[in-house]
Chains A and B, each alone.
Chain A
């Protein structure tokens, strides 16, 4: 594989690996979004035990 400046111009600047490795800043969250994400955390806290229960329950079902 060799470097060809003409070829590389087919890419948009934002597509270069080096450009995509630059991190985007954290998003500043409004109250609504923050509330949604907090609700989502509550959902996750409820969902994880259900997943664990489902797995353990399925384990004891005779196959």
Chain B
């Protein structure tokens, strides 16, 4: 620091271009300086380490409580087969979608919600924000259900595991430093990979896995409503609106620039690969339930699976599974509540960054803290309609993914803001295909919701 340094806490300063400089700018500049030095020293692995974060967090964050239950239900219902390559495909879709958010972030240095508001007007701005914050609140409820259920497996009372969850979420926000927050969450998110050693306790057959990947089979049971619902649940477990908003805002908050795009893409690809490995491991670990013909239709949480797995894969494997479920709920609660904060503050044009002090960013932090407290409170209400909320979360996420994706495609084709990083025809073909596919899936989900037996049982 220079000797004639001024206190930024009280004085609004101006940089060389005459712009006002804030504490948030200074903290981001510190991170950027490390990146610039590492790049000029040509230390590529260290550079990737410095720039990784948003992609890994968004992908592992989406391996949340309900998603892991979806993968577990898939493994217990169909075993190792069609869904192994299908899950891999959904993560390829997720990479295609999330890569666009990285480009938007580095090209505009603005979050997704504020771009929608400013470029398409208040209707779409408020709709996108309102839909996200409401959907995220319900999703947070499901994350605390996962934390609570995991706690029950280890003999913790509901109130204690939920309270620990709330304290950890609020403590992560109290760091008031994006870089520290990100590294703390990445350290926690590594535990999502617990599903991989858990899968080893199920003694998976390498030949069966290879056969599934090569042939997209077997598919026992045919194409009934249960199969279609699981297909939709697995898509909903991988591609959701909050991911788009979160990753773009995190890329901006981290300070990534156009020069960092290759590392931003690699970060997203690594995150997708890790999350896909954990998801497939979850299918593998629950496959013994399929072999033992265990009926999982009444299972409400990941803890039910852990309990049912104990006699089949042993206590260690089941414990790893239960720990993974707790981690899934916790990391998702942290990332999803933060995406609500970013989205709300960006739409309302108030300051939004994890580098802010509480006094400067009280509205930003308040959204995450209040939604966390409300969600945790709902979980603890005796007789609360938790199942209704879980089902509605899936409906909202699937139905409202189409508008989110279309707005994303429109933004990433906006050459006034994207310049040379706008979508080319290949990216538009891939993105357009995904929008059409997700819209059809959303419509199908809507039909199944209203007419549950339209495709048979």
Which residue numbers of A lie inside 8 Å of B, CB to CB?
A: 1-21, 23-27, 33, 36-37, 40-41, 43-44, 46-47, 50-51, 53-55, 57-59, 61, 63
- Which residues from B are CB-within-8-Å of A10? 29-30, 32-33, 36
Complex Cα distance, B395 from A61, in Å, reads: 16
Closest to A48 in B: B399
- Which residues from A are CB-within-8-Å of B385? 58-59, 63
User: For the complex, is B303 an interface residue (Cβ under 8 Å from A)?
Assistant: no
- Which residues from B are CB-within-8-Å of A63? 385-387
Do A27 and B416 touch (CB < 8 A)? yes
Instruction: For the complex formed, measure the closest distance between the CB of B133 and the CB atoms of chain A, giving whole angstroms.
Output: 15
- Complex partner residue of A1 from B26, B252, B402, B449, CB under 8 angstroms: B26
Interface flags for B175-207 (1: CB within 8 Å of A; 0: not) read 000000000000000000000000000000000
Complex Cα distance, B389 from A27, in Å, reads: 37
Task: Tell whether A50 pairs with B450 under 8 Å between CB atoms, given A1-B27, A15-B257, A63-B387.
Answer: yes
Instruction: For the complex formed, measure the closest distance between the CB of A34 and the CB atoms of chain B, giving whole angstroms.
Output: 11
Complex Cα distance, B335 from A7, in Å, reads: 29
Do A15 and B6 touch (CB < 8 A)? no
Closest to A25 in B: B118
Which among B16-24, B41-49, B59-67, B209-217 touches the partner chain?
Answer: B16-24
Do B392 and A54 touch (CB < 8 A)? yes
Closest to A50 in B: B446
Do A26 and B5 touch (CB < 8 A)? no
Interface flags for B395-425 (1: CB within 8 Å of A; 0: not) read 1100110110011001000101100000000
- Which residues from A are CB-within-8-Å of B392? 51, 54-55, 58
- Which residues from B are CB-within-8-Å of A2? 1, 5-8, 26
- Which residues from B are CB-within-8-Å of A8? 15-16, 21, 25-26, 29
Closest to A15 in B: B109
Instruction: For the complex formed, measure the closest distance between the CB of A50 and the CB atoms of chain B, giving whole angstroms.
Output: 5
Do A24 and B28 touch (CB < 8 A)? no
Do B25 and A50 touch (CB < 8 A)? no
Instruction: For the complex formed, measure the closest distance between the CB of A32 and the CB atoms of chain B, giving whole angstroms.
Output: 10
B225-283 with Cβ < 8 A to chain A: 252, 255, 257
Complex Cα distance, B449 from A7, in Å, reads: 55
Instruction: For the complex formed, measure the closest distance between the CB of B236 and the CB atoms of chain A, giving whole angstroms.
Output: 13
- Complex partner residue of B28 from A9, A15, A21, CB under 8 angstroms: A15
- Which residues from B are CB-within-8-Å of A9? 15-16, 29
Instruction: For the complex formed, measure the closest distance between the CB of A16 and the CB atoms of chain B, giving whole angstroms.
Output: 5
- Which residues from B are CB-within-8-Å of A27? 119-120, 414, 416
Do B410 and A33 touch (CB < 8 A)? yes
Closest to B392 in A: A55
User: For the complex, is B297 an interface residue (Cβ under 8 Å from A)?
Assistant: no
Complex Cα distance, B414 from A5, in Å, reads: 34
Do A54 and B391 touch (CB < 8 A)? yes
Instruction: Please tell me the number of chain B residues within 8 Å of chain A, measured between CB atoms.
Output: 68
Complex Cα distance, B260 from A10, in Å, reads: 14
Instruction: For the complex formed, measure the closest distance between the CB of A40 and the CB atoms of chain B, giving whole angstroms.
Output: 5
User: For the complex, is B388 an interface residue (Cβ under 8 Å from A)?
Assistant: yes
Instruction: For the complex formed, measure the closest distance between the CB of B421 and the CB atoms of chain A, giving whole angstroms.
Output: 13
Do A58 and B387 touch (CB < 8 A)? yes
Do B5 and A4 touch (CB < 8 A)? yes
Complex Cα distance, B124 from A26, in Å, reads: 12
Do B388 and A55 touch (CB < 8 A)? yes
- Which residues from B are CB-within-8-Å of A4? 1-2, 5, 26, 29
Complex Cα distance, B356 from A22, in Å, reads: 19
- Which residues from A are CB-within-8-Å of B164? none
- Which residues from A are CB-within-8-Å of B416? 27
Do A15 and B386 touch (CB < 8 A)? no
- Which residues from A are CB-within-8-Å of B399? 47, 50-51
Do A44 and B109 touch (CB < 8 A)? no
Task: Tell whether A5 pairs with B2 under 8 Å between CB atoms, given A24-B110, A33-B410, A59-B388.
Answer: yes
Complex Cα distance, B13 from A2, in Å, reads: 10
- Which residues from B are CB-within-8-Å of A36? 406, 410
Task: Tell whether A12 pairs with B19 under 8 Å between CB atoms, given A40-B403, A47-B400.
Answer: no
Do B19 and A16 touch (CB < 8 A)? yes
User: For the complex, is B9 an interface residue (Cβ under 8 Å from A)?
Assistant: yes
Do A3 and B255 touch (CB < 8 A)? no
**Which of B26, B255, B414 gathers the greatest number of chain A CB atoms within 10 Å?**
B26
Task: Tell whether A54 pairs with B387 under 8 Å between CB atoms, given A1-B27, A5-B2.
Answer: no
Do A3 and B13 touch (CB < 8 A)? yes
Do A19 and B2 touch (CB < 8 A)? no
Complex Cα distance, B33 from A13, in Å, reads: 14
Interface flags for B96-131 (1: CB within 8 Å of A; 0: not) read 000000000000111000010011110110010000
Do B19 and A19 touch (CB < 8 A)? yes
> Can you sample 17 A-B contacts with CB below 8 Å?
A3-B21, A3-B26, A5-B15, A8-B25, A8-B26, A10-B29, A17-B22, A17-B25, A20-B252, A21-B349, A27-B120, A36-B410, A43-B403, A47-B400, A58-B385, A58-B389, A59-B385
